Structure 1
Amino acid sequence: MRCLPILLLSAAALTATGPARADVSLQVIGADSALQEDLTAASRLMAIEDAATLPAQDVIASARSDYSRLLAALYERGYFGPEISIRLDRREASDISPFRAPAPIQDVVITVTPGSPFRLGRAEIGPLAPGTELPEGFAPGATAGTRVLRQAAEAGITAWRAEGHATAAIASQQITARHAQAELDAQITLDPGPVALFGQLIPQGNERMRPEAIARIAGLPTGARFDPETLDRVAGRLRDTGAFTSVALMEGNLAPDNSLPIEADLVEAPLRRLGFGAELSSTEGVTLSTYWLHRNLFGGAERLRLDGEFSGLGGENGGFDALASAVYSIPAVLTPDTRLSFGVSVEHLDEVTFTLDRIDLEAGLEHRFSDTLSGSVFAELSYGQITDAFSARDVTMLSLPVGLTWDSRDNVFDARSGWYVDATLTPFAMAEGSGGARFTADARAYWAFGQTSGTRLAARLQLGTLDGGAINTLPPDWLFFSGGADTVRGQGYQSLGAMQGGVLTGGRSFFGSSLELRQDLFGNFGAVLFADTGYVSSGPYWDAGGSWHSGAGIGVRYDTPVGPIRLDLATPVSGDGVGEDLYFYIGIGQAF
């Protein structure tokens, strides 16, 4: 019986493998392909394309390091009695002095005889915190290996840290290999340490950000029991400001009173950012957008964003539309997860059925409940001048939009899994005396298939309804239309509305659905098949008196660092233009 000390919390570093040449070979006797791949990845020699092109000293150094690297990879998989031979020009590398290196080495042969994989005899770890979940493989009779031992130790430490024991660590370990039985006995003793309390947050690396503002935004609960999830949320709050390109929290030394200071290593982002966007549609024309952003106006991550957009340029429906807006926001107001925002926007809309010029003032709060759930409440006052089939009129409106957003997507620009749901209820009152409420919802889901997630299914459901307000006084853009890039591709922009008061205008209810099959092709290219459907009715709550239309088509995607470039071709399936019309849409990012 031999005692075999193993460092549980270290792993063999992996080196990316390149294509092996004939002069560097690896032979693994009696092992599966998975072990062969692990050993190839662990070997530095296997990354050498041609040993003859390197100085002999470099090859010898790589060979000497490969003994330990290959041994660590074998221990990971439970092979504790292996034989490793590395021969350089038929000489064992361990016998060659690096100070008396031969001429350039022409032949490198690595031979590994793993032997039989060991199994766990005794598998003991403790003391354990309540609710500790050890890996399934840490049990008598299971395949042994440093990987599962390390996982068991990490699980035990993680569980103690979740109970407030920030300094939990391995107190001792006894690992015994019984080669005759091919068994490994593991006894791991943990030291939970005392329950720690959060101490002060100590920012480092900040230049423009004020320390007191950093502490307010981080919201570290000084004096509360240590909790890793709370620490993750503190880091998330600092990242969410956009004022930092890097946020790293490090635990300091435990003080005699069990308080644990937290050091925040921060790298500030550039103060300003400028961005541009463009989209092209055969019916809606060109849309050009730009924004300018200042991330840290007064040293507290206060943000000012200016946006401008021109759309409908060269479009077939209506004239051009324009929007200019400014939003000023302050983080950590009332709570560390609450942001206060003020905004002003000026808008011009020139549509087929109406023209509108409007100025809008808003103020409100946005709150993040968790990593996936956020909410907002705003007060908005708007004044608009409207010309449509009903009249030329001025409209003053006070509204109170309340919204919730749940977002678990893995990627905002090109999701492969997760859900997104955004719902807003907007009570409103108009100066002429009428009022009511408007509700909108946008739900999306994404599923991936295959080992590389190369095939994805994306689905979208849109809902909208408007109850209250006289039809001849409501802002026409508060009513619902269907058709175009954001609703039903293959149908003209806002081509489906409803008859209200004898006038063709938008409806009080809208239902839209979209389904896409996305497939990666080669390189950065991908393809999409899609089908969209829309429904608009004149009454609220999706009454039965409305109209349907639909469209379908194909698309091409090309991945870029800022999201996929999108080209979609679509044609009507039902409604107007079946068998006649063809529309194209170009933009950045997926359609939804």
Structure 2
Amino acid sequence: MQRRLILAAIFTLLLFFNSHVFAQENYEIRHINFVGNDSIDDDLLLDAMVMHPLSYIEKTFSKKEPALYNREMLETDLERLTRYYQREGFIDVSIELAAIKQNDQKKKVDLRFRIEQGMPFTIDSISISQTASSTAVNIDSVFRSVKAKLQLQPNSRFSDDALISDLNLLKNAFSGNGYAYTTADYQLSLNKDAQKVSIHYLINTGPLCHFGPTQLDGNKHTDDKFIRKQLLFSEGDIYSTSRIDESRQKLYKLQLFSILSIQPELTQQHDTPVPVKIYIKEAPRLSSKYGAGYGTEDKFRAFAELTYKGFPGDASRLKMQLKHSALRPYQVSLNWIQPQFLYPRLSLTVNPFISRNNEPGYKIQDMGLNVKLANELSDQLSAQTNYYLERVKTYDAEVDSLGSSTNDIPYQKSGFIFSVFYDSSEPKFSPTHGLNITLACKLNGYAFGGDYNYSRIWTDIRHYRKMGTLVLASRLRVGGIHSGDADHFIPVEDRFFAGGSNSIRGWQYSELGPLRDNGKPLGGSSVLEGAVELRIPLAWKLSVVSFLDFGNVWVDEFQYQLNELAYAGGGGLRFDTPIGPIRFDVGVPLWNEKRSAAFFISVGQAF
């Protein structure tokens, strides 16, 4: 009897073990999780696998087939995961399938992998030398100039991808200093006891090279001389890959070409000088864009844009824009843009316009002229100076605490706007990391003309931080207006307003802040608002956010009453598209029992 009980217990354990280590072939994989992967995110490990679970949304809206479990693929994925870890420096990693949860009714399985990473190999030292066939060059000087940019530094974790990246960085450093035929290799010395690796780079520079003749091909409308004027190299100069790259970027920014290739014609015989071949395909001279959409605030909106390139010169372009929405029934804008005005990083834009604005707090017709000089100081920093001359006609104007104006009588504005922009945030439409700062000052009237004298300054700071798969976004906006007139009148369209899909989301558009006697927004001379938003990816193109917004608007200039800040909390959905996410937000005013939730549909992140 006892023997039978022991055999039964062993048989039961075997069945239990089998259910955790093996699953029914061709069951759909519903979920995969990992235990012990302290250094590498789940998403990266899933990307390395063949068996990849699909969410319900992916199966519903995409054409992807769900992954099916089989033992052969399991062995393949165990090997792929092991190799991935080893490429990341974890040579002694151990990975096994720890458990399987099987649903026979739905024919689905969940897999759990147990990972024992072990200690990673770290960098002990980095050195460099030339091969015997190299040209005599101060290799240490070039190495010092790029050493801080190397991904693999002493005491950092070894990675195959980082090693290849550093190898290319070193190669480009030498080819950028005249050695077009540079080759780079490496030697690794492992100390298994200490889990250390030393890297020694071997550089063969080849001969010192110069640029040869440049051949152009493909340009029909753009003059050869104009294109050659953009190049940062000429025949006889010391060869430099950085000059080629900068010339390519300079030509692309002209927006004249749909295809642009600048290729040095290197040979196996290491010939010098090095000829350069430029092939271009010009963009259509006349192009158009059209679009329509819907948002909670501007309702139905539509736009049309026509652009003519090369008017009247090679790099200039003429752009006409037509826009319509509930907030802006019509806007007609003509832009003449001249890149490389006076010098390469300066552009000139001349912009006559007319528009009708139906805002919650005012109704105006605005027509005038803007002349803008934009200076690109670096890839991330730029500055603008904008002169404007406007004629504004107000409708439904009233006497208010910021001065008085008379219905239908136009007034004139004239002045300058000075702006500085810093932007290291990426990617463009939905940043996940980086910083975006705007500082601006508007001077109206005074010595520049216009019917009113006032100055308006504001700043907008946005920060994005990636935390694993999550993104923490924050924003702060502060502004103030000072009037130089006795009646302290500030044109209503230049006042600060708050509330809406891109502001404090517990209030509708421009609804937060001082109000007129009739309940319409008055606007103010001071604004302070901020937001913190956590962006959480779900699956496929869907994500959710959770946010806290705060802020207010005050009538008095440069007066910020922190005890009067309004707060709103809420959440929303995002669906990614090529032009930015479509979003639905719900904002609830906090500590305000008189107000209900506000709902918003819009395109693009709130900030």
Assess same fold via TM > 0.5.
yes
Aligned 8 A contact 1:166 1:195 in 2: yes
Report Cα offsets for 1:373-395 as digits up to 9, x if no partner: 12211211111112421223321
- Per the normalisation by structure 2, the TM-score is 0.67
User: Could you tell me which of 530, 534, 538 is aligned with 1:521?
Assistant: 538
Are 2:208 and 1:190 aligned? no
**CA 1:429 to 1:236, structure 2 compared with 1: closer, same or farther past 3 Å?**
same
Quote the residue 2:224 is aligned against. Answer: 211
Aligned 8 A contact 1:382 1:397 in 2: yes
Q: Compute the RMSD of aligned alpha carbons.
A: 4.7
Q: Measure, in 2, the Cα distance between the counterparts of 1:498 and 1:445.
A: 29
Quote the residue 2:247 is aligned against. Answer: 234
- CA positional deviation for 1:586: 1.4
Alignment-mate amino acid for residue 458 of structure 2? T
Quote the residue 1:5 is aligned against. Answer: none
- CA positional deviation for 1:475: 2.1
Percent sequence identity over aligned pairs = 21
Quote the residue 1:464 is aligned against. Answer: 479
Quote the residue 1:345 is aligned against. Answer: 353
Quote the residue 1:126 is aligned against. Answer: 129
Structure 1 stretch displaced more, 236-245 or 557-566: 236-245
Quote the residue 2:526 is aligned against. Answer: 509
Give ranges in structure 1 of 5+ residues lacking alignment: 1-14, 40-72, 79-117, 178-183, 314-319
**CA 1:434 to 1:251, structure 2 compared with 1: closer, same or farther past 3 Å?**
same
Structure 1 stretch displaced more, 206-215 or 335-344: 206-215
Q: Measure, in 2, the Cα distance between the counterparts of 1:484 and 1:120.
A: 52
Q: Measure, in 2, the Cα distance between the counterparts of 1:516 and 1:122.
A: 42
Quote the residue 2:587 is aligned against. Answer: 570
Are 2:498 and 1:482 aligned? yes
Alignment-mate amino acid for residue 380 of structure 1? Y
User: Could you tell me which of 413, 436, 440 is aligned with 1:420?
Assistant: 436
Aligned 8 A contact 1:295 1:301 in 2: no
- Per the normalisation by structure 1, the TM-score is 0.68
Quote the residue 1:274 is aligned against. Answer: 289
Aligned 8 A contact 1:357 1:386 in 2: yes
Aligned 8 A contact 2:414 2:450 in 1: no
**CA 1:123 to 1:231, structure 2 compared with 1: closer, same or farther past 3 Å?**
same
Are 2:472 and 1:449 aligned? no
Quote the residue 1:297 is aligned against. Answer: 310
Aligned 8 A contact 2:49 2:80 in 1: no
Q: Measure, in 2, the Cα distance between the counterparts of 1:545 and 1:155.
A: 50
Are 2:603 and 1:585 aligned? no
Quote the residue 1:43 is aligned against. Answer: none
Alignment-mate amino acid for residue 227 of structure 2? I
* Length, aligned pairs only: 485
- CA positional deviation for 1:491: 0.5
Give ranges in structure 2 of 5+ residues lacking alignment: 1-47, 52-66, 92-120, 131-138, 191-196, 399-403
- CA positional deviation for 1:465: 1.5
Quote the residue 1:552 is aligned against. Answer: 569
Structure 1 stretch displaced more, 462-471 or 377-386: 462-471
Aligned 8 A contact 2:180 2:240 in 1: no
Report Cα offsets for 1:512-569 as digits up to 9, x if no partner: 1111111111221111111222221223323449953232221111112222111112
**CA 1:414 to 1:187, structure 2 compared with 1: closer, same or farther past 3 Å?**
closer
Taking the TM superposition and a 5 Å limit, the aligned residue runs for 1:134-213 are 154-162=168-176, 164-170=177-183, 190-193=203-206, 202-213=215-226
Alignment-mate amino acid for residue 424 of structure 1? A
Quote the residue 1:308 is aligned against. Answer: 322
Report Cα offsets for 1:323-380 as digits up to 9, x if no partner: 2212121211112222111101112123444321110201121121221112211211
Report Cα offsets for 1:50-98 as digits up to 9, x if no partner: xxxxxxxxxxxxxxxxxxxxxxx9xx999xxxxxxxxxxxxxxxxxxxx
**CA 1:382 to 1:21, structure 2 compared with 1: closer, same or farther past 3 Å?**
closer
**CA 1:138 to 1:310, structure 2 compared with 1: closer, same or farther past 3 Å?**
closer
Report Cα offsets for 1:278-299 as digits up to 9, x if no partner: 2321xx3505131314252346
- CA positional deviation for 1:151: 6.3
**CA 1:547 to 1:211, structure 2 compared with 1: closer, same or farther past 3 Å?**
farther
Are 2:343 and 1:335 aligned? yes
Are 2:449 and 1:436 aligned? no
**CA 1:38 to 1:494, structure 2 compared with 1: closer, same or farther past 3 Å?**
closer
**CA 1:166 to 1:476, structure 2 compared with 1: closer, same or farther past 3 Å?**
farther
